[in-house]
A and B are shown apart, each in its own frame.
Chain A
Amino acid sequence: QKEVEQNSGPLSVPEGAIASLNCTYSDRGSQSFFWYRQYSGKSPELIMSIYSNGDKEDGRFTAQLNKASQYVSLLIRDSQPSDSATYLCAVYGGATNKLIFGTGTLLAVQP
């Protein structure tokens, strides 16, 4: 079982729709959760961080964390073509004490 799992996609949504990106993790002791956006050939850019159960909203982005289910998600409202990128879920593991990345989900927003 991978430590951090994401559906590789591509996830295709029409412009203006809600994009829902999901991530599961295996280390129940994980404490911090991050979403990074990575455009092709570029560096990862932090979108959201979340540390406690529930929702955290920042503009068009909402991160959701459910530690009991070991699940974290990212919702992007009013998706724009400029949101088209790979979204990386990263989890700071309790056992490993380091940041573990999923392989990323490719999001394509169709104009």
Chain B
Amino acid sequence: NAGVMQNPRHLVRRRGQEARLRCSPMKGHSHVYWYRQLPEEGLKFMVYLQKENIIDESGMPKERFSAEFPKEGPSILRIQQVVRGDSAAYFCASSLAGGPGNIQYFGAGTRLSVL
């Protein structure tokens, strides 16, 4: 029973390039969340998606960042024209359903380094 799968584990990009982070939720889970963690800081919510729908993107920067969770395939977090400040660990979590009673399980994360 595979957990939440994220790839790549490490991603190096130069300023101005695009970064694509992928997340496959746990089997049977249709709710996906993306978080960003900067060094010495807590996890910050970015976006919450269900299949083909963005439910809440209030934590995502308005420019350069986008997320999708298509009917088939993994959820994608896309960062265009990366800057040094985008360097962080990006974690994906999934849950069986939405709402307060549902536990979110985390993937291993993608560590993005922008040169």
Chain A residues close to B by CB (< 8 Å): 4, 31-32, 34, 36, 42-46, 49, 51, 88, 90, 92, 94, 97-104
Contacts and interface: CB of A to CB of B under 8 A. Distances in A.
Contact of A99 (B58, B104, B107, B108): B104
Given A46-B103, A49-B103, A98-B48, A88 B42 contact: yes
Contact of B45 (A42, A98, A102): A98
Q: Is the interface of B mostly helix, strand, loop or mixed?
A: loop
Contacts, number: 47
Given A31-B100, A32-B101, A97-B56, A102 B42 contact: yes
Interface residues of B, number: 22
12 contacts: A31-B101, A32-B101, A42-B108, A42-B109, A43-B106, A44-B43, A46-B103, A92-B100, A98-B45, A98-B56, A98-B59, A99-B104
